[in-house]
């Protein structure tokens, strides 16, 4: 994997100071590079790789400075290194991941002269608003764009946001980038590269997790290492929408769905007796059965055969390697 410094955005895409109510150089300095090495025998190694590179933004909670990033960058991390804009490097610890929002918190283990970015609310954004997407490395790794959509987002890995933020043009190194308003407030964290369709036109965009999802769980993440909520039932299944059907596209090894006998290509017809026609329906159906450990009834078709399977769910966290304590 190449270093983030090996590329740069065209000058015409970079943020302009005009109309921005804070010093852009200060905003750039708030974003650090994360370099993660994850366990080779970890549950996510085959999907996310063992070496992960992205960005994170320094935030403040009370008197504590932490780096906020996207959780997949630090899942099952064995080591994390943070690099600031001056090239200073310190080791860090994966403090917490919120499986519901997908956000992650990192604790620097050494001094970094990095200013904290103040947090705002994504509710202040309207479609068409000018936004800044800030990656580690200053102006050459940052761009100016617009909010093009805010809508529900369902991920094939059992992930659902009631409302996600979508911006264009897309940042090519989106993971952990900071979505910043022209008043300098942090509004979201970069998660994905996606294709959006508007007015019968398809184009590339980034999906951001709204910063508002952090506020209700931040204190718990710092104190406990996770939000103080009951884990959702997890099946260890990857799904895809095809027409009005939800199809099994992958299974995690020895996960609940794999153990229950689901196979690639199975079409999920019902969850707990309720018809399923979309990925959000499927996920909400699973979660409606109770907490992690609940039995999830599935009706599916396999070729011309109709099957009923009972999947004994689990907590996703139970399948992930935990970081060593510092």
Rounded to an integer, what distance in angstroms lies between the CA atom of residue 9 and that of residue 58?
A: 23
Question: What is the C-alpha to C-alpha distance for residues 140 and 73, in angstroms, rounded to an integer?
Answer: 22
Asked if residue 6 has pLDDT above 80, the reply is: no
Q: Report, as an integer, the average pLDDT of 93-122.
A: 96
Angle at Cα 243 formed by Cα 237 and Cα 247, nearest 5°?
A: 20
Give the SS3 label for residue 159.
strand
User: How far apart are the two ends of the chain, measured CA to CA in Å?
Assistant: 27
**Gyration radius from the chain CA atoms:** 20
**Predicted confidence (pLDDT) at residue 311 exceeds the cutoff of 70:** yes
What pLDDT is recorded for position 5? Answer: 55
Per-residue pLDDT reduced to its tens digit, 238-269: 999 998 999 999 999 899 999 999 999 999 99
pLDDT at 154: 97
Helix (H, G, I), strand (E, B) or coil at 257: helix
Whether 2 shows a pLDDT value over 70: the answer reads no
Q: Is the pLDDT of residue 1 over 90?
A: no
Q: How far out from the chain centre does Cα 120 lie?
A: 19
Among 235, 227, 229, 250, residue whose Cα is nearest residue 293: 235
**More confident position, 313 or 47:** 313
Q: Which residues pair with 307 in a beta bridge?
A: 300
User: Residue 326 pLDDT more than 60?
Assistant: no
pLDDT at 323: 74
Over range 219-246, report the average pLDDT. Answer: 94
* pLDDT above 90 (res 292): yes
- Residue 39 CA to its chain's centroid (Å): 19
Provide mean pLDDT across the span 88-117.
96
Over residues 31-67, the pLDDT tens digits come to 999 999 998 888 898 889 999 999 999 999 988 999 9
Rounded to the nearest 10°, the torsion over CA 209, 212, 217, 219 is 120
| pLDDT above 70: residue 123 | yes
Calculate mean pLDDT across residues 1-30: 86
Domains in the chain, start-ordered, CATH in brackets?
1-229 (2.40.10.120), 237-319 (2.30.42.10)
Q: What is the mean pLDDT of residues 201-216?
A: 94
Given pLDDT bands bounded at 50, 70 and 90, which one contains residue 3? very low
Q: Cα–Cα distances in Å, from 150 out to 122, 168, 207, 208, 260?
A: 10, 12, 9, 10, 36
CA separation for the pair 93, 325 (Å, rounded): 8
Mean pLDDT over each residue of the chain, to the nearest integer:
94
77, 37 Cβ separation under 8 angstroms: yes
- Residue 119 has a pLDDT of 97
Q: 251 with 238: CB under 8 angstroms?
A: yes
Under the banding of pLDDT at 50, 70 and 90, the label for residue 197 is: confident
Q: What does the pLDDT average to over 232-236?
A: 98
User: How deeply is 181 buried, as exposed, middle or buried, from its count of CB atoms within 10 A (0-12, 13-18, 19+)?
Assistant: buried
Give me 67's structure tokens: 């780096």
**Phi, psi (degrees; rounded to nearest 5) at 56:** -155, 160
């Amino acid at each position: 994997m190449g270093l983030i410094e090996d590329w740069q955005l065209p000058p015409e895409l970079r943020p302009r100071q005009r109309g921005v109510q804070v010093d852009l150089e200060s905003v750039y300095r708030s974003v650090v590079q994360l370099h993660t090495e994850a366990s080779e025998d970890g549950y996510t190694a085959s999907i996310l790789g063992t070496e992960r590179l992205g960005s994170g933004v320094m935030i403040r909670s009370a008197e504590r400075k932490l780096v906020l990033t996207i959780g997949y960058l630090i899942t099952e991390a064995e080591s994390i290194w943070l690099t600031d804009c001056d090239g200073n490097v310190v080791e860090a610890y994966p403090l917490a991941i919120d499986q519901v929002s997908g956000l992650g918190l990192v604790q620097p283990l050494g001094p970094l002269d990095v200013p904290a970015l103040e947090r705002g609310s994504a509710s202040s954004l309207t479609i068409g608003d000018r936004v800044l997407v800030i990656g580690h490395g200053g102006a050459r790794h940052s761009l100016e764009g617009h909010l093009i959509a805010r809508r529900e987002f369902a991920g094939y890995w059992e992930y659902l946001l009631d409302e996600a933020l979508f911006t264009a043009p897309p940042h090519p190194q989106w993971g952990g980038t900071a979505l910043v308003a022209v008043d300098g407030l942090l509004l979201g964290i970069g998660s994905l590269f996606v294709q959006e369709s508007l007015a019968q036109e398809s184009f590339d965009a980034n999906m951001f997790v709204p910063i508002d999802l952090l506020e209700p769980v931040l204190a718990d993440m710092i104190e406990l290492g996770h939000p103080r909520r009951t884990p959702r039932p997890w099946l260890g299944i990857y799904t895809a929408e095809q027409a009005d059907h939800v199809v099994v596209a992958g299974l995690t090894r020895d996960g609940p769905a794999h153990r229950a006998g689901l196979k690639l290509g199975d079409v999920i017809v019902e969850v707990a007796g309720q018809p399923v026609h979309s990925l959000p329906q499927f996920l909400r159906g699973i979660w409606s059965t109770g907490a992690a450990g609940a039995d999830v009834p599935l009706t599916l078709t396999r070729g011309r055969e109709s099957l009923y399977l009972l999947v004994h769910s689990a907590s996703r966290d139970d399948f992930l390697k935990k970081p060593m304590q510092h």
